[in-house]
């Protein structure tokens, strides 16, 4: 991301990233919190599964931050991901998440990060025509088509939990 982009607000970075990716989004600032999947689903009136949780982990092998886009109705099974995909993930420090993505926990967007991150997307999100993502603040969200989002950000779609 350019030095000028680093000076933008988190919402502006999301809007700029969407524009650069060719994603037509409209950010909605809500009166209530959208920090959790349940809060976001209630705020927009959708199923919890349509909420995209942007979870930032550290790849234990490369030490790079890694983004998991997970359905609001799921939890990431990091042991399953390690066994199935060979990606060992551990919790990321909240200060590192803010410093490297430019977003605070609860408002991490799938786009507009300060650094490039490898991205894995929960394949169950593809069952929906529209999903809702954090837009850089814990009170702001945007809707998009999950397949188009995955394509535009080069996300690898995976199962994020064992059945």
d(CA 146, CA 123): 9
Q: Cα separation of 116 and 68, whole Å?
A: 13
Query: If you average pLDDT over residues 24-34, what whole number do you get?
Result: 90
Q: Do the Cβ atoms of 28 and 49 come closer than 8 Å?
A: no
Average pLDDT over the chain reads 93
Determine the pLDDT at residue 34: 83
Q: Give the right CATH number for 3-156 from 3.90.960.10, 3.40.190.10, 3.40.250.10, 3.90.1580.10.
A: 3.90.960.10
Tell me: the pLDDT tens digits for 31-66? Answer: 888 888 998 899 999 999 999 999 999 999 999 999
Q: Name the band, by pLDDT with cuts 50, 70 and 90, for residue 2.
A: low
Helix (H) or strand (E) holding 13: helix 10-21
Residue 163 pLDDT level (bands cut at 50, 70, 90): low
| Residue 91: partners with Cβ closer than 8 Å, 6 or more residues away | 57, 58
Q: Does the structure show a pLDDT above 80 at 154?
A: yes
Please spell the DSSP secondary structure of 59-98, one letter per residue.
ETTT--EEEEEEETT----HHHHHHHH---EEEPPHHHHH
Can you give the pTM of this predicted structure?
0.94
Q: Are 146 and 125 in contact (CB under 8 A)?
A: yes
Please report the pLDDT score of residue 90 as a whole number.
Answer: 97
CA dist 62 and 31 (Å) reads 39
């Amino acid at each position: 991301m350019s030095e000028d982009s680093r000076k933008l607000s988190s919402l502006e970075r999301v809007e700029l990233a969407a524009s650069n990716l060719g994603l037509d989004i409209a950010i909605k600032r809500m009166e209530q919190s959208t920090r959790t999947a349940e809060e976001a689903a209630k705020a927009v009136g959708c199923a919890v599964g349509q909420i995209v949780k942007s979870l930032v982990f550290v790849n234990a092998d490369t030490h790079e931050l890694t983004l998991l886009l997970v359905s609001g109705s799921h939890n990431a099974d990091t042991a399953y991901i390690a066994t199935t995909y060979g990606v060992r993930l551990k919790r990321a420090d909240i200060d590192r998440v803010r410093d490297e993505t430019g977003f605070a926990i609860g408002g991490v967007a799938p786009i507009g990060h300060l650094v490039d991150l490898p991205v894995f997307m929960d394949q169950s999100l593809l069952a929906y025509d529209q999903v809702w993502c954090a837009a850089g603040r814990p009170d702001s969200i945007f809707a998009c088509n999950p397949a188009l989002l995955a394509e535009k950000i080069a996300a690898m779609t995976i199962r994020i939990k064992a059945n």
